[in-house]
Amino acid sequence: MLKSINPTTGKIIQSYKSHSEKGVEQIINAVDKTWHHWRSTSFKHRSNLMQNLSSLLKSKKMELAQLMALEMGKVKKEGIAEIEKCAWVCDYYAQNAELHLENEIIKTEASRSYISYQPIGTVLAVMPWNFPFWQVFRFLAPTLMAGNTAVLKHASNVPGCALAIEELIREAGFPENVFRTLLIGSGQVKNVIKHNAIKAVSLTGSTPAGKSVAAIAGSELKKCILELGGSDPYIILEDADLEDAAKKCAAARLLNAGQSCIAAKRFIIVEDAYPEFLEHFTHEMNSAYFGDPCDEKSTMGPMARIDLRDELHQQVLDSVEKGAEIILGGEIPLRKGAFYPPTILENVSQGMPAYDEELFGPVASVIRVKDKNEAIKVANDTEFGLGAAIFTNNIKRGENIAEMQIDAGCCFINDFVKSDPRLPFGGIKKSGYGRELSSLGIKEFMNAKTVVVK
């Protein structure tokens, strides 16, 4: 049994009966059977359905945002933006999938040689709760447009969102079993990966979860794409617009109550900019209003679960015990729900959770450094490598740092890190491997088949 619990009130919203092993088997087989037809449909046909899906998302964005607010605490304004982004990725692949997957002519001694991209079958998606629609749709749109089919194992605390996605796809006119949700626990994922009909796996989640899934997929010789944890560094140099940088850094730390792999987490400030930046940053962080996500006044909701809030608070306490200083927040509020206030930790250094670990919530680690070189060294001093940002008015210098000196899958200059359907998204080191979105993302689960005509 899966339970949907409102993190604002702690009350059970609804309980859902889990799929049995027999039920899972039937669903996977039905999706695999559908693939043998779906793979031969035209791009035009798939595109029309995907555009229908985009229109549905736009028309239902208010109710879907409400569902997210109730199931995982996302404020409605952010929920609406998430659904609009899902519609965008549907439109993008509806318009560009055929172009991305057209045959690539390679000049050789043969009369004709080329690469043909062919779908591989049914792909399993294992997805997290923090962006319960976007994480699925950035996988779903390219996967279905490429001619593959999919099954989803969503996070156990957002079953309502998982079933809503399945219903949206059905309502848009897609075949009944082109995409299905599996209501199962994490302990059943291993058997799903091992199922003969499952050809590959896409996982967004924690680094331990990624290691586990990768090990199982590897033992079955099945490809997987992993988008895992992050400890994104934001470097603030002395020539940055410090007031603007502070606004963007605070927004990047507090979006979705700080529960994002690409949220800003470590703020690395050169000493000449440190006092002024910290003043602006503290003001921006302190200006957030955290409350009921259904309340229009709230700019930040609760965290998704009480246990996640308590784990974050323990990381804060452990960091303080090792010498960090709380200059804002850091106390669990005396109210119902999984709330945690915007928090800033100063004097953060190696050996503290606030430096070494991912803080998956609204806690900012502030680190003072001597100069640019030390900032780059500290930025790269992490096992993660998902996103990063540099704030400077010297764009040429910023580009050089971003392109050549920062170990990350994506790096932004004078803005916070965000995903875009037009650009590849993914990380390095323990933040995972493979790429989603753009032309690279749609090709990840395709057979790049060489065809030669003598």
- Domain architecture of the chain: domains with CATH: 2-228+428-453 (3.40.605.10), 232-413 (3.40.309.10)
Backbone conformation region of residue 127, classed left if phi is above 0, alpha if psi is from -120 to 50, else beta? beta
The β-bridge partners of 149 are 122
Q: What percent of the chain clears pLDDT 70, i.e. is strictly above it?
A: 100
Burial class (CB in 10 A: 0-12, 13-18, 19+), 24: buried
pLDDT for position 8: 97
CA distances to 235, 315, 329, 355, 367 from 232, in Å: 10, 17, 21, 11, 13
81 Cβ contact partners less than 8 Å away, ≥ 6 residues apart: none
- Region 171-181 average pLDDT: 98
Q: Please provide residue 13's backbone torsions phi and psi, each rounded to the nearest 5 degrees.
A: -80, -50
Residue 270's pLDDT band, with cuts at 50, 70 and 90, is very high
- Region 284-311 average pLDDT: 97
pLDDT for position 136: 98
Q: What is the pLDDT of residues 438-452, one digit of tens each?
A: 999 999 999 999 999
The CA R_g of the chain, rounded to the nearest whole Å, is 22
Q: How many angstroms separate the CA atoms of 43 and 52, rounded?
A: 14
Q: How many angstroms separate the CA atoms of 347 and 174, rounded?
A: 54
Residue 10's pLDDT band, with cuts at 50, 70 and 90, is very high
Look over the chain and give the mean of its residue pLDDT values, rounded to a whole number.
98
Residue 126's pLDDT band, with cuts at 50, 70 and 90, is very high
CA distances to 35, 91, 116, 419 from 422, in Å: 26, 11, 22, 9
Nearest CA to 2 out of 132, 107, 157, 136 is that of 157
Q: What percent of the chain clears pLDDT 90, i.e. is strictly above it?
A: 100
pLDDT for position 256: 98
Q: How many angstroms separate the CA atoms of 12 and 337, rounded?
A: 12
- Region 312-326 average pLDDT: 98
pLDDT for position 366: 98
What are the residue numbers of the active site?
227, 261
CB 259 within 8 A of CB 157: no
Q: What is the pLDDT of residues 50-96, one digit of tens each?
A: 999 999 999 999 999 999 999 999 999 999 999 999 999 999 999 99
Q: What is the pTM assigned to this prediction?
A: 0.97
Quick one: CA torsion of 208, 209, 213, 218, rounded to 10 degrees? -20
Torsion sign across C-alpha atoms 304, 384, 376, 347? positive
Residue 311's pLDDT band, with cuts at 50, 70 and 90, is very high
**Residue 37, both tokens:** 């037809």
